[in-house]
Amino acid sequence: MAQEKFNPEHKSPCLDKNCSWCCNPVKVPRFLPPDKLPKDKGGQPLWTKRKELLVPEDSQTKLETYYCKNYDSATGKCTDYENRPDICKNTECVDPNSTELIDRQHQKVTSKKFSKITP
């Protein structure tokens, strides 16, 4: 079976590949402004800060981690995928301008290794 090339109508392969890499845990740049953190329809925070930082092997950039209220750990899926906030919709593990196949791009991102720091 041929591997899929990028399709602008279906950017991220998270549903097809049953992948929750970006939200288990949520990883964002350290010191993300509080107004950028997503809220639910009632104005309550969707994310709860974890007591750890992650540092990618290939970088010294520290990432803050969060639990997401909409993440279902039993299924590995978002419980409100269609209404997820923009910060989640804009998280992609594939580059539309890349000549690499989606599977290869996805594998590169999801196989990243991190060191964990507990402040």
Give the residue extent of every domain in the chain: 26-117
The overall pTM is greater than 0.85: no
Express each pLDDT in 11-62 by its tens digit.
567 777 788 888 999 999 999 999 999 999 899 999 999 999 999 998 888 9
Query: Is the model's pLDDT at 117 over the cut of 80?
Result: yes
The CA distance from 18 to 90, in Å, is 18
Rounded to an integer, what is the distance from CA 100 to the centroid of its chain?
20
Helix locations, the chain, DSSP H: 86-89, 102-110
Collapse the DSSP code of 39 into the 3-class scheme (helix H, G, I; strand E, B; otherwise coil) and give the result. Answer: strand
pLDDT digits (tens, 9 = 90+) for 58-116: 888 899 999 999 999 999 999 998 888 888 887 777 777 888 888 888 888 888 899 99
pLDDT at 45: 95
Specify the higher pLDDT residue, 49 or 9: 49
* Cα 70 from Cα 39, distance rounded (Å): 11
